[in-house]
Structures are given as C-alpha cells and as structure tokens.
Amino acid sequence: MSSLLHITNGDSFTQRLGNLRLKGDVITWREMLCEGPTLTNVGSESFWKTRFEFLNKNYKVSKSSFIEKTLKEYRSLCNHKQQDQIVLWFEYDLFCQVNMLAVISWLKTHRKYAEITLVCSGKEDSSDKLYGLNELSDEQLLKRYENKVVLKQDDIEYADYVWQLYCSDNPMRLENLTDFKNYQFDYLSEAVTSHLHRFPSIKNGLNAMENNILQLSLDKNLKDKKELLDTVLKNQGTLGFGDSQYERAISRLKPLFNSFNPVKLTQKGKSILEGQTNYYANIQDNNVYLGGALKYNFLYNNNSDRILKL
C-alpha cells in the first residue's frame, strides 16, 4: 500500500492542511532561500551552516531557534523514507518558487523512487489576481489537490538545473533560460524574471523592489512606517516577501527619507527615483548574496532587460 507525504511552504498553510484531513504526514519547509547565500547541495552540513550564518547575522535567528524550527523539520523529512508519494504545496511567488526548486533538488538526490506531485496556486480565476494557497477555499484546495500535477523525470531534472543556476555565481546564465513552457512549472519564468530584477538597476543603483518602496512612499501620502510596510506588502508584485524582509529593505533606504511619520522622501530620494542621481556607491555591500551571486557584482539594464557584469 502506498504511503503519502505532504511538504508545505510554511506553517500557516500546514495548519490549514490539517483542517482538510487529507491522508499522509506533513512536513513544513521552513526556509527563505530567496534571500542570502545558497549552496547547490541542499541539506548538507555546509548548506545549513551557510544558511544559519546568514539568518543569525541578518535576522538575529538564534542557534536554538534554527535547530528547533528549521533543522528539526528537515530531520523529520530525512526520516520519512517510506513514503513513495510526495505532494508539494507551493505558490506562484519568488519566495515560494526558490524554496520549491531546492526541495525538488533534494528529492531528486534522496527520494529517487518516489512519485512527486505539485499543487501550485496562482491564477485561479479570470481576474489578474494571483492567489496564495491560504486565500483559496477548502473546496478550491481539494479540487487543486485532485488535479495535482505529476512531475516527470524531465521536470525534476529541470527544476534541479534551475536550482544549480540560481546557486551559481553568474545570474546571466539564468536569463538565458527560455524553455520554461516545456515543463510543469507555470510560474517559474516569472519568478526568475523577478529574481533578475533584484540586481541593482544601471539607472540609479537601486533594484526594482527598492525603487518600488521609494515610488510608493512618494505617491501614497502614508502616515507612518507601518502604513508604508502594509502598502509595500500589498503592492509587491510576485516577490512574496514578508514583513521582516521589507523592514530590512526600508532600513537600507533610511537615508533617503526625511521622515517616517508621515512618510516623506528627501530631495535626494526623489532625484534617485527620477534617475538623476545614482545611489550605487552609497548602498553597495560586498557581502550581499542573491542565491550564489554577489548582488553588487552585476547591474540590471532596464533598456535591454539584460544583466551586466561589473
């Protein structure tokens, strides 16, 4: 008799999945691999050491918390050796898609015998809105589950290949990918594009996300930092980032604000947004990684939509 394992994209959906009373055990993938350095060998000692150092330094994640939340759940995944059916529950955004690639890469190595299926939320109706799993009704989730996509060996190999490229030191290799439509990942192409837009723009030295924060600050008459944070979260496109990631981004841009109460940009902030001033030299940091690449070793050319190596 086949046995079943569900791997989810986070705690809130794990809780939700419990209410659906589906058969099988549930593991939560507790990571945010879209931020900080990543290594190709998912689950290795060097992989977790690199991740802990990043999370500890940038998010003050303690060793005990990392062990309790992330490593304990990962070890539980390692101990689930019997299941020959594995269902992945992920969403359309960059945050989720990068985690999904890493999980598939790990499964390719460690669970060769298992049938892997994917439930991925995003476009659910005729509107332009993309939906997270928790935004779907129980009925919609069960329907999605019934129609889950079986990942063939080619799909698994491809996801692993994209993961290897994400972890490489040269993002230009990612922008040459054009064959997404041949595989069962409806949102991967958009996620890769969102990732490439995270490199600083040649225009003003800020990336798409940082420019978006400044633009919303200028346009929206926001009364305080909390309102800025809420507005950015609602208008972030396909990144899928959380509060803590945006709080860090806003603190990087702090010199470009006159005030957060109400939210007001400096004159320099406005001229950077208009492309009259370049902020690259002020914000450059040689320790910031996006996957395997150093963020400030590359520039994004908005006119040609290509990455340039510095």
Cα 157 from chain centre: 20
pLDDT at 15: 96
Kindly state the average pLDDT of the residues 33-53: 98
Contacts with 172 (C-beta within 8 Å, 6 or more apart), sequence order: 298, 306, 307, 309
| Helices and strands: H and E segment counts in the chain | 14, 12
Residue with tokens 């990684």: 289
| Pairing assessment for the beta strands 257-260 and 149-150 based on DSSP bridges | unpaired
Cα 277 from chain centre: 30
Of the pLDDT bands very low, low, confident and very high (cuts 50, 70, 90), residue 2 is low
pLDDT, tens digit (0-9, with 9 covering 90-100), for 80-97? 999 999 999 999 999 999
Question: pLDDT at residue 213 above 60?
Answer: yes
Per the prediction, the chain carries an average pLDDT of 97
Cβ distance 286 to 277 under 8 Å? no
pLDDT at 230: 98
CA distance 203 to 194: 17
Kindly state the average pLDDT of the residues 267-273: 98
Beta bridge partners of 308: 299
Question: pLDDT at residue 180 above 70?
Answer: yes
Say if pTM beats, i.e. exceeds, 0.85.
yes
Do 4-196 and 208-283 show the same overall fold? Answer: no
Kindly state the average pLDDT of the residues 153-173: 97
Torsion 174-179-181-185 (CA) sign: negative
What are the residue boundaries of the structural domains of the chain, listed by start? 4-196, 208-283
Question: pLDDT at residue 1 above 90?
Answer: no
Cβ distance 94 to 239 under 8 Å? yes
Distances (CA, A) of 76 to 5, 72, 93, 97, 285: 11, 6, 26, 22, 36
Does the domain formed by 4-196 have CATH 3.40.640.10? no
Kindly state the average pLDDT of the residues 29-57: 98
| Pairing assessment for the beta strands 289-291 and 293-294 based on DSSP bridges | antiparallel
Cα 203 from chain centre: 25
Question: What fold is seen in the domain 208-283?
Answer: Arc Repressor Mutant, subunit A (1.10.10)
